[in-house]
Homo-oligomer: A and B are copies of this chain.
Amino acid sequence: MAEKHVVVLGAGFAGLHAVRELAREPSLRVTLVDKNNFHLFQPLLYQVASAGLEAPQITFPIRAYLRKYKNTRFLLGGAEGVDLEKNTLLVEGKPVPFDYLIIGTGTRTSDFGLAGVSQFSFGMKSLDDAMRIRDRVLSACEEAVKTSDPERRKALITFVIVGGGPTGVELAGSLGELRRHVISRDYPDLDLSEVRVVLVETGNRILEAFAPKSARYAENYLRHLGVELMLGERVVEVLPHGIKLLSGKFIPTFLPIWTAGVTGLALPGLPTVRGNRVATTPYLNIETAPGIFIAGDLNYLEGPGGKPYPQVAPTAIQQGILAAQNVLRELHGRDKLPFKYRDKGNMVTLGRNHAVAEFTKLRITGFPAWSAWLAVHLYYLIGFRNRMMVLSNWAYSYFTYDYAVRIMHNRHSFPLETAENPLTKGG
């Protein structure tokens, strides 16, 4: 067979696993394209936001990953479009021709067109996002110590998370621990009762993807930790100094974190469906462009029951592997295999010793779930060094109740001076 060129776009779970499969065929030429030079382990991103982990510990340099795959090259760059006729991917103005293309670009935060969300709220998808949240929390606490305006102070130390899915819940738990164990000790001049971590969710319970019993357990633990739950509340607008709810309530805050929805990062040129995702055949390729495979959060394939597969890491890993295998099968003249989802269960961590885990026939909470969560995350984290560093950090935090990475890289300034204070006017 003539040398074929497979381009893999996106170094997330799907892309990296695809590359690993493609390495089995040394005669293939593989190019991995990403706009960053690192793989990001998104499941632990919230711990970077809450000062628990250092940013490099949940990342892995792509070139280090590729060292052992001699048939693969890395290309740093943002992809701008696909030409389905010419079979080329446009990367920063330059066309990259391919025989096969596997796309795993995932999703980005979606504002659903709500006013103010994209301007004033903080996303939680990228490493930059997480570091911006950390800087914001630290900057806000420093500013709160200095201000003499009580309303401004309260708004500064009110941290609001919109969205009660796993990301929102894990971040809420983690900021709740930061508040209780770190802010309380670092800022003796702040009144802890004024420091608020608020979780806003439209539904009448959090963790929709979990059983009601699990959600109730999580809600109780978060409340116990001091997190305020505002359930059945819909955001209508985000302003520079707070969040307006449909109920008429206004939450003064300078840190509205938006975890309430995502939209597919489909490239121009690709046919899209609901949520800007890309529909595929069960073999994960596009019907009208069979050389292009979509794996991970971007893929919209309905499983048995007519619902799309969940946008979680196990789906991305399984689809990345299958997409690559189907490329190889086609090259070897064998039939492609359809996607079969192996449900790995659902997990969410709430805080020290507390988590929820659901498997097909088993539902666990508390310390067993938390231990399982730790083990699974360490296992999937790439790199011996990262595992060692993250485990050391966790052990340190566990025994000292400290979130050690409280380094403010960029200090934030805050809008509104005390003289004219719209906060007290309720927005």
Q: A residues near B, CB below 8 A?
A: 36-38, 54-57, 59, 61, 63-64, 67, 73, 75-76, 127-128, 138, 142, 146, 185-187, 189, 383, 385, 388-389, 392-393, 396, 400, 402, 404-409, 411
Chain B residue, CB-CB nearest to A75: B146
Q: Do residues A407 and B186 form an inter-chain contact, with CB atoms below 8 A?
A: no
Chain B residue, CB-CB nearest to A73: B189
Minimal beta-carbon separation of A381 from chain B (angstroms): 13
Minimal beta-carbon separation of A136 from chain B (angstroms): 13
A411 to B59, CA, bound (A): 16
Q: Do residues B409 and A186 form an inter-chain contact, with CB atoms below 8 A?
A: no
Chain B residue, CB-CB nearest to A38: B407
Between A73, A142, A385, the greatest number of chain B beta carbons within 10 A of the residue's beta carbon is seen for A385
Minimal beta-carbon separation of A293 from chain B (angstroms): 25
Q: Do residues B185 and A407 form an inter-chain contact, with CB atoms below 8 A?
A: no
A389 to B75, CA, bound (A): 31
Q: Do residues B407 and A56 form an inter-chain contact, with CB atoms below 8 A?
A: yes
Q: Do residues A186 and B406 form an inter-chain contact, with CB atoms below 8 A?
A: no
Minimal beta-carbon separation of A407 from chain B (angstroms): 5
Q: Do residues A142 and B389 form an inter-chain contact, with CB atoms below 8 A?
A: no
Q: Do residues A185 and B67 form an inter-chain contact, with CB atoms below 8 A?
A: yes
Cross-chain contact of A37 among B55, B64, B142 (Cβ < 8 A) = B142
Known: A392-B389, A396-B385. A63 touches B406 (CB 8 A): yes
Chain B residue, CB-CB nearest to A76: B142
Known: A404-B56, A406-B37, A406-B64. A76 touches B411 (CB 8 A): yes
Cross-chain contact of A407 among B55, B407, B408 (Cβ < 8 A) = B55
In the complex, 16 of the A-B residue pairs with CB atoms within 8 angstroms, ordered by the A residue number, are: A36-B408, A37-B142, A37-B411, A38-B408, A56-B407, A59-B407, A64-B186, A73-B189, A75-B146, A76-B142, A76-B411, A383-B404, A385-B393, A385-B404, A388-B396, A389-B393
Minimal beta-carbon separation of A102 from chain B (angstroms): 21
Minimal beta-carbon separation of A240 from chain B (angstroms): 21
A136 to B285, CA, bound (A): 38
A396 to B36, CA, bound (A): 24
Q: Do residues A186 and B63 form an inter-chain contact, with CB atoms below 8 A?
A: yes
Chain B residue contacts of A36, Cβ below 8 A: 408
Between A56, A57, A400, the greatest number of chain B beta carbons within 10 A of the residue's beta carbon is seen for A56
Apart from A54-B54, A128-B409: 7 A-B pairs, beta carbons within 8 A = A37-B142, A37-B408, A56-B405, A56-B407, A67-B185, A127-B407, A389-B392
Chain B residue contacts of A404, Cβ below 8 A: 56, 61, 64, 383, 385
Q: Do residues B61 and A407 form an inter-chain contact, with CB atoms below 8 A?
A: yes
